[in-house]
Structure 1
């Protein structure tokens, strides 16, 4: 090939052991223009989409690192034969270069000295690749050789960076049955048979941003390949080299810089803690200081950084009502499941009951609905229960399911929201008060979850919704005693099973799950006579499912029962050490928050907007680490505050987030009822930034960390969740061109 002087250049660095085919397995996906190995793969379209999403280029050079043993030499020989034929089919100016290095005096990497030698070669190769790439992509394949080889290449990637860490997931059993593990190299010069291709899945494991402290050091001196040389030649299609240790150890230089960076990191963290009451993610302190400075700008002003996009973060929602979670289209899917198991006779009776109680129930929505339609729904459900003997909760679910499926989505939207628009300061401005906020919930999950047929589809839908929003951790809160009054603990058990079947983790998080989910049982202020019974049921549920039944909540219109009136009823929960969160201070005085903290011993407070009116209590919250669960969209709807994007709020007070930040209060951002407020958790962060112009991306990320620190799980599990979230944040930092998947 021509002298390799054009820049930038894209380079693939790959490890190689006894199986030479790992190189074509990667290149067949990375460079299909050379040989389209996966043309017949059953998931070809998905593989192509994955490739395009990662933005990876065909390499100009392939660097292969191996050992000096006999099996490795045989593998290299086969690779070279395949490469020779492959590149002869390509136009000469486009022929890539193959560089191969074997670590001298190594074979099975069975001794510490062999491992040290190979690790040094891997580090030097990745450093040299970055210098030679000159701004081009450096991609690293971990598919070949022993695990120690992959681990060394991963370490090199974390030190110097990599556009992508590649791997090939192989079904060796299927390949062996087809005799493909020993297939001649000629079979790898054409598309693989469909069943063979199906046994191979090339993937991008992650990207690596590199460690600035390793590259530059505290004195600004960069590590240079010339100081840790590796034989590097150009001008040939295939170049084979043997590398001998020369007494200089790049690994030692890297470790010295890492230790120095750790000392600086601790100092920087202490300095930042002195000027910022919100503790940052320690892992983010590894970023370039200039990048940290950018992230300390207002969140909405640094949109060029992927870490300034909440939709990419591994989010945690601590205040999310289960019944108010699903949007209309997903509620309709659940309703269809309820009707699927409802016999024709019951459906006919339900339609009759609806027609009698609400003659226009199937209306197209062009006419204004009767203002009392929620009561008419309840009347129809009562009539159906009486006519059929169904439990009232089942009857209500059937009635609501008919309305959800028979009316058009547009008609339903008008029915649910038109009477309360604009949804601003509803508690003060709307005749229905707080009930106006809850009105869209009349057809929500709370009306469906009383039917056994709704549980599984509802669980699937909320898990899918949480994953689509990027949640790693969620605490749903619900009222099982309203769904199955005869067996509320049984409902909790059924829902937990359904969540597990849907892919959520409902036991202790071990780092491998995609979504850790738990439940908080709601006690309704408006049902004072039931509170003691409900608390005891929640305690029984926590005894049976301690990792899932996480806590107790007091919710409902604050204008009804005050927290202090329920202190005796909550005693069984306190004796069982159930964690407590209380809705308080959302439009009511800070005295309600005081009662929640001192009479009900709240671990967290839902909303707590008026806490700023009681500075001594606010200081107590800060000292004890009692977190507030802020829900900006629902706070705007219920209480009302100024939002520059909504003209109807111009005369309202400012949202108190800025003052709370100034007080250093433990704060979290949450959705409350995402379907009722038509929001997502990422939207809540963006709204918080809009109404609090000084909210920086750095502080917003710190609020996310507060959410993990305030989760209702054990201290060790909170640490494990934070580690997983921190790694995913670094993945975001490393992938500026694509959002990494967390599924």
Structure 2
């Protein structure tokens, strides 16, 4: 394996200028450059390390001989143990590139050499230089890079306008054996144009390309090893039929046909379609994406999370009433501080024993004093629930870790927060939701919390589930609640596209369900009149205890929103048999199902999911915490059931991964995808992760034009991300 720098040659000075950039350990000519930090950063960004070999492609004849002599003179004075191998290839019959025939020969030679170098390096890095020789030579190098790829395309620019500075093309050998003086530091500046991946058209045709014989390259190396005093200088004879460039031209003209056939072949072997642009990546890159598994080794977790964080994401199943961790709970509660002061006389007697327990850091005493978090809401007659809840949270503002202990106790250990069942899970969220969000300022702050978390984790589309009627009061009616949520999310519209989904509860009063239905119909009518709405109502959800009320009973109350053609997503099959899922699909026309863990028990119903493209909204963390499944990182879960996500993917179902209640479940969007990897035996590949991400964008309830826009944006970001990382 060898790292190779390939350049054409015009003036001889280009060689020390390039090696000063790639191999500063030989001669650091840019040591005094005003932008030396930027130059170092460029090396790091494009992984430019000292090269093992330099390949020079030049014309033949008398015009280039002077430059070649200078190259030999400079090279001979470099420290022998540090300098790279230098090979010079003169193209026969190209004196001055003054004719079309000469230019075509040089083009064939450059493409041949770049192809040869990419093969000869055997997995090493290939760097190409845009500087040197005629403009046609630079153009040919760019074309060759676009075909065969390179780690970095390097360019060097001169700045002869510096007062009193030498002209770069007049500088002599001695000038390039030491750093350029500080007063002329900016005389020459290297930079990287870009990194080029190989053209995927090369990998989809089975015909071999004509190439410079590898034996010739190896022979050249053998000759050099026996005589290291001078560069290897060879004459390159170009086949007058120009087989390589003609073949590449033919490949280019057939590219559309080849890519279409190749993509179709790949798609036929896929159970779930990925971002279409990914199928145009080089075959080796696609294989790497399919082989790179995440969620198997705890030591790799941080690195894997950093990769997932860079992927654009869509979140389809996130409850506003469960977004906050303890730090964010305190932030939200602070929004009510002004109102809390108005009730200070009523609050003090109740809070003082709690404050003392906080001072003593006695979590068990605090738990004993409050009985349950829901009791806090009715702790003081005449004091609103959000005031007692916020005032309780704020006694922990200087010790959020203690609040975390009070809420979660042993659940702070992942292995303990497993299979605790729904009621226990729900209790960990009793300080949020309607206990806190009935205050307008707290509601606004909660919306800001989830929007900012989403943006920080590269979520570009968010569907937020909420129950405005649950947060309403005489002074804060439900429509005002809805407007507050939408107006707050709209503050982030430039970077985060949002939609709203209403939630009605199976185990609540039917009157509350009816109020949510009436509110939804009212909003839909207003949105229809307004035309464009930045944060629209796009869906309706039925959540809560699946055994409390069947879909058959809920069908009639929900009919008014069905008649408005609002999208439906239903919580079903979380901890109940697949009959609950069947009812959601057939009686409530659900397009998406939340959790859907028991679908695997009814294969006929699964077939219907495939036929109708019904989407699964899986929530690994909350599923692990409520039901309990195996986790590759937690040995104590090895006897639990396997999470069905991989099974659903293999069957071709449209699986999405979501946070559910990110604050309660102690998760975040990227972490949730990684949790899905951890809960899959053998982990998930990057290819599978990307297909899951695409499913989320495709399955969104966003208006069609918006959905297409965010899907294109996500696809573009994914391709750019992969070009940098793979």
Q: Distance in 2 between matches of 1:439 and 1:420?
A: 15
Query: Quick check: 1:436 aligned with 2:427?
Result: yes
Partner of 1:741: none
Secondary structure of 1:424's counterpart equals coil
Residue from 399, 406, 423 that aligns with 1:407: 399
Residue from 707, 712, 721 that aligns with 2:696: 707
Distance 1:614 1:229, change over 3 A: same
Partner of 1:160: 148
Distance 1:304 1:271, change over 3 A: farther
- Which ranges in structure 2 are unaligned for 5 or more consecutive residues? none
Q: Is contact 1:425–1:640 with CA below 8 Å preserved after alignment?
A: yes
Residue from 8, 18, 28 that aligns with 1:35: 28
Distance 1:86 1:249, change over 3 A: same
Secondary structure of 1:677's counterpart equals coil
Q: Distance in 2 between matches of 1:444 and 1:63?
A: 71
Q: Is contact 1:14–1:63 with CA below 8 Å preserved after alignment?
A: yes
Query: Quick check: 1:620 aligned with 2:608?
Result: yes
Q: Is contact 2:499–2:537 with CA below 8 Å preserved after alignment?
A: yes
Q: Distance in 1 between matches of 2:146 and 2:212?
A: 17
Partner of 1:312: 307
Partner of 1:554: 541
Residue from 3, 19, 28 that aligns with 1:10: 3
Q: What TM-score do you get using the length of structure 1 for normalisation? A: 0.68
Structure 1 residue 669: Cα displacement: 2.4
Query: Quick check: 1:225 aligned with 2:212?
Result: yes
Q: Is contact 2:620–2:657 with CA below 8 Å preserved after alignment?
A: yes
Q: Distance in 2 between matches of 1:551 and 1:195?
A: 63
Structure 1 residue 586: Cα displacement: 1.7
Distance 1:461 1:256, change over 3 A: same
Partner of 2:502: 522
Structure 1 residue 631: Cα displacement: 1.4
Q: Distance in 1 between matches of 2:192 and 2:398?
A: 44
Q: Is contact 1:353–1:383 with CA below 8 Å preserved after alignment?
A: no
Deviating more after overlay: 589-598 vs 448-457:
448-457
After superposition, residues 627-638 of structure 1 pair within 5 angstroms as 627-638=615-626
Distance 1:669 1:116, change over 3 A: farther
Deviations 1:326-361 (A, max 9, x none): 6555666x56xx85x988x76755776664444425
Structure 1 residue 606: Cα displacement: 1.9
Deviations 1:249-305 (A, max 9, x none): 423323556788987876776666666533456645865589849947986679999
Query: Quick check: 1:641 aligned with 2:629?
Result: yes
Partner of 2:558: 567
Distance 1:521 1:104, change over 3 A: farther
Q: Is contact 2:443–2:485 with CA below 8 Å preserved after alignment?
A: no
Q: Is contact 2:418–2:624 with CA below 8 Å preserved after alignment?
A: yes
Q: Is contact 2:296–2:678 with CA below 8 Å preserved after alignment?
A: no
Query: Quick check: 1:593 aligned with 2:581?
Result: yes
Structure 1 residue 625: Cα displacement: 1.0
Structure 1 residue 636: Cα displacement: 1.6
Deviations 1:409-448 (A, max 9, x none): x2132123117573233335xxx44523534756999699
Structure 1 residue 653: Cα displacement: 4.2
Q: Distance in 1 between matches of 2:518 and 2:68?
A: 73
Q: Is contact 2:204–2:262 with CA below 8 Å preserved after alignment?
A: no
Deviations 1:8-46 (A, max 9, x none): 54333468999x9999599548747633647676893x8
After superposition, residues 217-296 of structure 1 pair within 5 angstroms as 218=206, 221=208, 223-226=210-213, 246-254=240-248, 256=250, 277-279=271-273, 283=278, 292=287, 295=290
Distance 1:541 1:400, change over 3 A: farther
Partner of 2:523: 537
Q: Distance in 1 between matches of 2:140 and 2:299?
A: 32
Partner of 1:418: 409
Partner of 2:363: 367
Q: Distance in 2 between matches of 1:254 and 1:303?
A: 46
Q: Is contact 2:27–2:179 with CA below 8 Å preserved after alignment?
A: no
Structure 1 residue 660: Cα displacement: 3.0
Distance 1:441 1:183, change over 3 A: farther
Deviations 1:83-130 (A, max 9, x none): 9999798535534659699988779xxx99999788656533422333
Residue from 82, 92, 100 that aligns with 1:94: 82
How many residues end up aligned between the 2 structures?
670
Structure 1 residue 57: Cα displacement: 0.8
Q: Is contact 1:139–1:164 with CA below 8 Å preserved after alignment?
A: yes
Q: Distance in 2 between matches of 1:147 and 1:380?
A: 81
Distance 1:251 1:625, change over 3 A: farther
Distance 1:310 1:326, change over 3 A: same
Secondary structure of 2:246's counterpart equals helix
Distance 1:405 1:260, change over 3 A: same
Secondary structure of 1:706's counterpart equals helix
Deviating more after overlay: 418-427 vs 668-677:
418-427
Partner of 1:656: 644
Q: Distance in 1 between matches of 2:230 and 2:604?
A: 76
Secondary structure of 2:716's counterpart equals helix
Secondary structure of 2:664's counterpart equals helix
Structure 1 residue 248: Cα displacement: 0.4
Q: Is contact 2:5–2:53 with CA below 8 Å preserved after alignment?
A: yes
Partner of 1:495: 489
Query: Quick check: 1:126 aligned with 2:117?
Result: no
Deviations 1:596-643 (A, max 9, x none): 434544332221223334444322221111110111221121233344
Query: Quick check: 1:139 aligned with 2:133?
Result: no
Deviations 1:458-513 (A, max 9, x none): 6444312x13xxx5x4424143845985263354244233353xxx2x4xxxxxxx
